[in-house]
């Protein structure tokens, strides 16, 4: 294709939606006020927009997410102003969800990309997974109303409880809570921490669990 065709086919689309996917890997946020996003995830922006680190307990984010979400620097940033901001994370696929008032989802800290400031949020930890998995021990609880964007390696599947999942492949869940079980007999055979040794068990008959076709390990 010629240059005009290339630029036309890959130009951003116009939309009134606050959160939209420009393609499978890029999120376009129409910022009008404040949006929270994973630090380091901005790839481009237009308009008058500023970026400020948010790492204090007052903002709901503590240092627990620092290494899990970004490896370095400020874990979460406030994006303020008016314009379009484009976010991406290491070629992972972007998933956008809209939460109504009272609806909630818990997302692996590694897989949070951005969310509207109208969402209430807090950090929860799974101590039994600390040190075993990249981002597997810190999770962000989000409650609506508002939009949130998650990232996944490949296309996710959503399964219903009761179900057991590999922590490294578990992206998010809602309406249910996990219990972690350890199969110690596999430690010598496998030679590393794995989903076969650590398993997240979601009980009950309601809710959902989002898993991806890749295990994220430290």
pLDDT tens for residues 123-143? 777 766 655 554 446 788 999
Taking the C-alpha atoms of residue 9 and residue 95, their distance in angstroms, rounded to an integer, is: 22
pLDDT at 75 > cutoff 50: yes
pLDDT band per the 50, 70, 90 thresholds, residue 64: very low
State percent of the chain over pLDDT 70.
Answer: 78
Query: Residues 44-55: what's their mean pLDDT?
Result: 88
* Residue 41 zone, left/alpha/beta (φ > 0; ψ -120 to 50; rest): alpha
With beta carbons less than 8 A apart as the criterion, state whether 166 and 202 touch: no
Question: What does DSSP say about strands 76-87 and 26-38: parallel, antiparallel, or unpaired?
Answer: antiparallel
Taking the C-alpha atoms of residue 215 and residue 123, their distance in angstroms, rounded to an integer, is: 22
pLDDT at 147 > cutoff 80: yes
Residue 12 CA: distances (Å) to CA of 19, 161, 217: 13, 38, 34
Give the model's pLDDT for residue 97.
98
């Amino acid at each position: 294709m010629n240059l005009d065709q290339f630029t036309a086919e890959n130009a951003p689309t116009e939309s009134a939606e606050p959160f939209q996917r420009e393609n499978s890997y890029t999120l376009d946020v129409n910022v009008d006020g404040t949006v929270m996003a994973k630090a380091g995830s901005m790839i481009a922006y237009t308009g008058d927009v500023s970026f400020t680190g948010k790492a204090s307990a007052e903002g709901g984010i503590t240092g627990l997410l620092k290494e899990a979400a970004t490896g370095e620097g400020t874990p979460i940033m406030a994006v303020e102003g008016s314009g379009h901001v484009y976010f991406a994370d290491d070629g992972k696929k972007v998933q956008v969800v809209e939460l109504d008032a009272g609806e909630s989802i818990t997302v692996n800290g590694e897989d949070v990309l951005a969310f509207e400031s109208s969402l209430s949020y807090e950090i929860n930890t799974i101590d039994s997974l600390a040190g075993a998995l990249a981002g597997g021990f810190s999770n962000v609880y989000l409650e609506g109303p508002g939009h949130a964007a998650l990232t996944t390696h490949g296309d996710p599947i959503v399964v219903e409880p009761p179900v057991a999942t590999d922590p490294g492949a578990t992206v998010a869940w809602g309406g249910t809570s996990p219990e972690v079980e350890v199969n110690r007999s596999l430690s010598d055979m496998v030679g590393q921490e794995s989903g076969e040794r650590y398993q997240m068990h979601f009980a009950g008959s309601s809710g959902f669990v989002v898993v991806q076709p890749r295990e994220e390990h430290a």
